[in-house]
């Protein structure tokens, strides 16, 4: 099965042996994404909205590099370390998915 590696311009080197995304059979797979800078330092440590925005912008770059849009996202997983941030995370999430939401 042919696949294409997706590495948006300006991407930082991952912490582990994987790439930001892969395109296979018309489906884009995005690797786990964290709020890190290009030197793998945590960004916005005390700002869940800024972290969420950074992560979703990174995901958007992978999807757009592969030729898609955020409206094409059908599924994602979010891991929350502190439930007090749930509302803030969802506020930003809703900005990136204003129409039909992913599963």
Residue 102 lies in a domain: no
Residue 88 lies in a domain: yes
- In the prediction, which pLDDT does 28 show? 96
Residue 81 lies in a domain: yes
Sheet containing 3-6, strands listed edge to edge, beginning at the edge strand earlier in sequence:
3-6, 21-24, 27-30
How many separate domains does the chain show? 1
- In the prediction, which pLDDT does 37 show? 82
Residue 60 sits in which domain range? 3-96
Residue 61 lies in a domain: yes
- In the prediction, which pLDDT does 53 show? 98
**Binned average pLDDT, 10 residues per bin, the chain of 103 residues:** 89 80 95 86 95 96 97 95 96 96 94
Residue 54 lies in a domain: yes
What gap in Å lies between CA 62 and CA 22, rounded to an integer?
Answer: 9
Length of the chain: 103
- Report the CATH number at residue 13: 3.30.1330.40
């Amino acid at each position: 099965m042919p696949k294409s590696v997706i590495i948006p311009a300006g991407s930082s080197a991952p912490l582990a042996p994987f790439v930001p995304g892969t395109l296979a059979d018309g489906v884009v797979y995005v690797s786990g994404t964290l709020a890190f800078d290009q030197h793998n330092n945590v960004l916005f440590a005390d700002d869940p909205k800024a972290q969420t925005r950074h992560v979703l912008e990174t995901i958007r770059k992978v999807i757009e590099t592969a030729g898609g849009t955020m409206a094409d996202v059908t599924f994602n997983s979010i891991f929350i370390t502190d439930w007090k941030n749930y509302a803030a995370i969802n506020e930003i999430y809703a900005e990136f998915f204003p129409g039909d939401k992913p599963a």
